[in-house]
A and B are shown apart, each in its own frame.
Chain A
Amino acid sequence: MNIEDWKSQIKRGTLELCILLMIDRRAWYGYEIISELESTPSLSVKESTVYPLLRRLLKEELLSSFWQESAEGLPPRKYYSITEKGREYLAAMTAEWDKLLVSIDSIKNGKEGSYGSDIK
């Protein structure tokens, strides 16, 4: 299997978490989100992924948005901020993520059975 395929699958699965984590800190606009993600080595994404995803998060009421005029000569920007529902969802996601990391770690270190009791 191509490592690039695997990387793009991971990215797809974690992008939502990354974007929510960013917006949890302050309101962001689309261009800013994409630039920030692009500055990281492994999270760079296309507009055609980020904008439709933001729209879905809006519809699911995890985010809210507002248009704001920016400096002269620049177009108004659409800012996204997190909602109460979004915060709850993010907390649940973060908890799952942490659990996942611990599980991967324990498998990597060969600690057999240390997570067996978690399986329901």
Chain B
Amino acid sequence: MEAILNDYLEKIDKYLKPLPASERVDIVREIKSEMTQLALEGGLSPEQILERLGNPKELAGAYLGEALVKNNGFGLRRFATAVAFYSLTGLSVMFVLPFTGVLAVSLMLCGIIAPLAGIIQMAGYLLGFDTPFVVVQLGSYLAAPPIAFVYSIAMGILLFMLGRGCWQLTLKLWRSIRERRLRSTGRDKGVQ
């Protein structure tokens, strides 16, 4: 068999790593059989065969995708299959999306709570209340109320900006996924 065809099969085998070895061997064997038939019966050159089969990432991704549809359980193997599938199909951002989304909301929330706490402590200090539930502490350093107020405001602004940044990142990721989806639905139009 031609070197470029073997190369292709090796790539498929590599991308299918999350599947059980016996299944992987069977898949590669079947694709190899298809290649030989395309050459002998279809009269295609190795280059034409590769063009027909398409990007090895896409082909392996299709196998992993079907394996995900079939398997409903949750286990390490399924998780590995999902990770491999999303990375092959360029959808790995799907994993980051919930993370940045939740992070954005919590950071912004903290950004609001921190200065509020600072204001409570400052008010307590000015009016002579004791507010032991609000403390600004960095390691062993305990900030005195007026300075703690400044810190809390600064901290609040910082946290809120971080949250906003995360939120914008989330929106950007979301848009890129949408665009990719739109592009991929227009793709699978079959072979002429």
Which residues of A come within 8 Å of B, CB atoms?
2, 4-5, 7-9, 11-12, 29-31, 38, 43-49, 51-53, 55-56, 59-60, 67, 73-78
Contact = CB atoms under 8 A, between A and B. Distances in A.
Contacts of A29: 33
Interface in B10-54: 26-27, 29-34, 36-38, 40-41, 52-54
Interface in B146-162: none
B188 A49 contact: yes
A60 B37 contact: no
Contact of A52 (B33, B63, B186, B188): B63
A83 to B, nearest CB: 15
A38 B53 CA distance: 15
Given A51-B31, A53-B66, A56-B66, A75 B189 contact: no
A43 to B, nearest CB: 8
Secondary structure of the B contact surface, majority rule: helix
Contacts of A51: 27, 30-31, 34, 59, 62-63
22 contacts: A2-B186, A5-B185, A5-B186, A7-B189, A31-B38, A38-B191, A44-B191, A46-B54, A47-B53, A47-B54, A47-B59, A48-B53, A48-B58, A49-B188, A51-B63, A52-B63, A52-B66, A53-B66, A56-B67, A56-B70, A75-B37, A78-B29
A73 B190 CA distance: 30
Nearest to A73: B40
Given A31-B38, A74-B36, A55 B189 contact: no
Interface residues of B, number: 32
Contact of B192 (A8, A44, A47): A44
Q: Taking chain A's interface residues, is the majority helix, strand, or loop, or is none over half, making it mixed?
A: helix
A53 to B, nearest CB: 7
A14 B31 CA distance: 23
A4 B186 contact: yes
Given A4-B186, A8-B190, A78-B30, A31 B66 contact: no
Interface of B: 26-27, 29-34, 36-38, 40-41, 52-54, 58-59, 62-63, 65-67, 69-70, 185-186, 188-192
A16 B53 CA distance: 20
A8 B188 contact: yes
Nearest to B59: A48
Nearest to B55: A48
Given A46-B52, A53-B66, 20 more contacts: A4-B189, A5-B185, A5-B186, A8-B185, A8-B188, A9-B185, A44-B190, A47-B31, A47-B34, A47-B53, A47-B59, A49-B62, A49-B188, A52-B66, A55-B27, A55-B63, A55-B66, A59-B70, A74-B37, A78-B26
